[in-house]
């Protein structure tokens, strides 16, 4: 999926459909996948985000051999056709895998949207319903904190 094909302001349902099409095209739905599997994959992405945080890693970065380069996500989104990271010869002519807390959070959201695309869930509506309800709740409702 080319990140430049999703126009700003495109709805989450459209993005979910595109993400799901990409997952299907890459073979992730050749066998049935249940909600429990998807939920545990989301948990694993969140655990990876926690490990990146614990290790003090940047929000978005990539590694070239043994060198770590902190990335400005806007730079990579603005010109995703340029595979060269601009930092070193090792990155020339190949797209380096992005890593970091923000990337792992994105992976979790991608897994959720993939399932929504598969199951036909109107995630935009569900988010709006829940958000409207949350706005009506009292300050620090329940008092629970981590």
pLDDT band at 64 (very low <50, low <70, confident <90, very high): confident
Do 95 and 116 meet the contact criterion of CB atoms below 8 Å apart? no
Mean pLDDT of 101-109: 97
Q: Please count the CA atoms within 13 angstroms of the CA of 4 that sit on its side-chain side.
A: 9
- Integer distance in angstroms from the first to the last C-alpha of the chain? 36
Query: Above 60 in pLDDT, residue 21?
Result: yes
Please state whether beta strands 67-70 and 61-64 pair in parallel, antiparallel, or not at all (unpaired). antiparallel
Domain residue extents for the chain: 10-57+100-137, 60-97
Record the pTM: 0.76
Q: Of residues 14 and 73, which shows the higher confidence score?
A: 14
- The pLDDT value given to residue 4: 46
Query: Above 70 in pLDDT, residue 99?
Result: yes
How far is Cα 115 from Cα 36, in angstroms, rounded to an integer? 11
Do 124 and 13 meet the contact criterion of CB atoms below 8 Å apart? yes
Query: Above 50 in pLDDT, residue 81?
Result: no
Q: Is 61 helix (H, G, I), strand (E, B) or coil?
A: strand
């Amino acid at each position: 999926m080319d990140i430049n094909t999703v126009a700003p302001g495109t709805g989450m349902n459209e993005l979910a459909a595109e993400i799901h099409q990409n997952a299907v095209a890459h073979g992730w739905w050749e066998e049935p996948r249940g909600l429990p599997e998807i939920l545990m994959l989301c948990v694993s992405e969140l655990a990876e985000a926690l490990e990146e945080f614990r290790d003090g890693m940047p929000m978005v970065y990539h590694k070239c051999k043994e060198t770590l380069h902190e990335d400005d996500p806007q730079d990579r989104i603005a010109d995703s056709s340029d595979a060269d990271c601009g930092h070193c010869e090792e990155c020339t002519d190949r797209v380096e895998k992005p890593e970091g807390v923000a990337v792992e959070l994105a992976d979790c959201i991608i897994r959720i949207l993939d399932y929504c695309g598969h199951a036909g869930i109107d995630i935009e509506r569900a988010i709006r319903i829940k958000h409207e309800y949350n706005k009506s709740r009292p300050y620090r409702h329940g008092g629970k904190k981590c």
